[in-house]
Amino acid sequence: MDDLKLHRSKGMIISPEITSALPYSEVEDITKEILEKTHFRPKLGIICGSGLGGLAESIENAEVIDYSEITGFPVSTVPGHAGRLVFGKLSGKPVVLMQGRAHIYEGYPLHKITLPVRVMKLMGVTTLIVTNAAGGLNENYRVGDIMIIKDHINLPGFSGVNPLVGPNDIKFGPRFPAMSTAYDMGLRQTAKRIAKELGFSDFVREGVYVMLGGPSFETVTECRMLRMVGADATGMSTVPEVIIANHCGIRIMGLSLITNCCVMEYDSPKVANHKEVLETGQMRSKDLQKLVSTMVKELEL
């Protein structure tokens, strides 16, 4: 008996939120709908964070589909997120790139935010590079640093906000997936070596990303607390996508661009703002493209 039937047979009340998570067959239909519009069959997926959509510039022979044209896809509502699915070749390899993502604070449920990752899985994607803009909590970080994510803290998950809440379909993955190895060690080592070879060592770091729901930026005390528990950078995305990707066996690399330094001192006149986030994305755009495209050249997919 599948999980959903089991829930019903026990007389459990399933909230509309939970039942509206798409069943496997509908994710298959959406995948088919997309693949009919492109001849590319990507094994690599890339998700671009705020202001990082410039990664699409490195893609050759691009074929573009707007999220609004795809059944069930969340439409991006935030500046810096174009809301387009871009197929093409990066360093000679077929890829699918999400130019922008959806966030909890836009009002989308987690299963909708993460639907594109399940679609990627059914397309044949085996490796995912996920990027975001984040505030630096680590006192040694500078604006413009690139942080290779080695682990995350799913803060919304502490109160049960997790994209895997609800009946589990074993066709996607297990009921209780491990997350301690979510950020692939081999990919992180390759990224660090390539950063060194490109002369990027001064601004490439490795650290822990913490997700909050947003859209408000953190208070000073929240930043201090997050730093105390071991986070190096804070943001409003990525973790749900990583949980869903890891659940279905996709290999993951995460990159955070440190777009601003979190305000750690009371009464500081500095404040976080989305304009600075987008400007830093612009400033580091070429270096990020170089790091990602060089990595992709080496990847065995």
Ligand X SMILES: O=P(O)(O)O[C@@H]1C[C@H](O)[C@@H](CO)O1
Which residue is nearest to ligand X, using beta carbons? 49
Q: Is 236 in the site for ligand X (CB under 6 A)?
A: yes
Q: Is 82 in the site for ligand X (CB under 6 A)?
A: no
- 196-219 in b/e form (b: 16+ CB < 10 A) is eeeebeebbbbbbbbbbebeebbe
Q: Is 192 in the site for ligand X (CB under 6 A)?
A: no
- Cβ at position 216, least distance to ligand GUN in Å: 8
Of 191, 236, 253, 295, which residue is the catalytic one?
236
Of 58, 76, 138, 237, which residue is the catalytic one?
237
- Cβ at position 262, least distance to ligand GUN in Å: 5
What is d(CA 234, CA 226) in angstroms, rounded to the nearest whole number? 8
Residues from 159 through 178 that contact ligand GUN (CB under 6 A): none
CB 259: neighbour CB atoms within 10 A? 30
Q: Which of 46, 86, 103, 173 forms a contact with ligand X (CB under 6 A)?
A: 103
**Whether residue 201 lies in the annotated active site:** no
Q: Are 151 and 246 in contact (CB under 8 A)?
A: no
Q: Which stretches within 91-144 are classed as H helix?
A: 110-113, 115-123
Pairing mode, strands 127-136 and 251-261: parallel
**Whether residue 236 lies in the annotated active site:** yes
Q: Is 277 in the site for ligand X (CB under 6 A)?
A: yes
Of 103, 111, 152, 247, which residue is the catalytic one?
103
Distance (Å) of CA 139 to CA 135, 161, 224, 233, 300: 11, 29, 11, 10, 36
Listed ranges 53-61, 118-126, 130-138, 168-176: which one lies at the site for ligand GUN (CB under 6 A): 130-138
DSSP state at residue 300? -
Pairing mode, strands 251-261 and 146-154: antiparallel
Q: Is 133 in the site for ligand GUN (CB under 6 A)?
A: yes
Residue 72's binding partner out of ligand GUN, ligand X, none, with CB under 5 to 8 Å set by partner kind: none
Q: Is 130 in the site for ligand GUN (CB under 6 A)?
A: no
- Cβ at position 269, least distance to ligand X in Å: 19
What is d(CA 250, CA 78) in angstroms, rounded to the nearest whole number? 27
What is d(CA 149, CA 184) in angstroms, rounded to the nearest whole number? 10
Listing DSSP states for 7-42 in one string gives HHHTT----HHHHTSPPHHHHHHHHHHHHTT-S---
Q: Are 84 and 165 in contact (CB under 8 A)?
A: no
Contact map string, positions 262 to 281, toward ligand GUN, x by CB under 6 A:
x---------x----x----
Binding residues for ligand X, per CB under 6 A? Answer: 49-50, 78, 101, 103, 132-133, 214, 235-237, 274, 277
Binding residues for ligand GUN, per CB under 6 A? Answer: 133-135, 212, 214, 217-218, 234-236, 259-260, 262, 272, 277
Catalytic annotation, residues: 50, 81, 103, 105-106, 133, 236-237, 260, 274
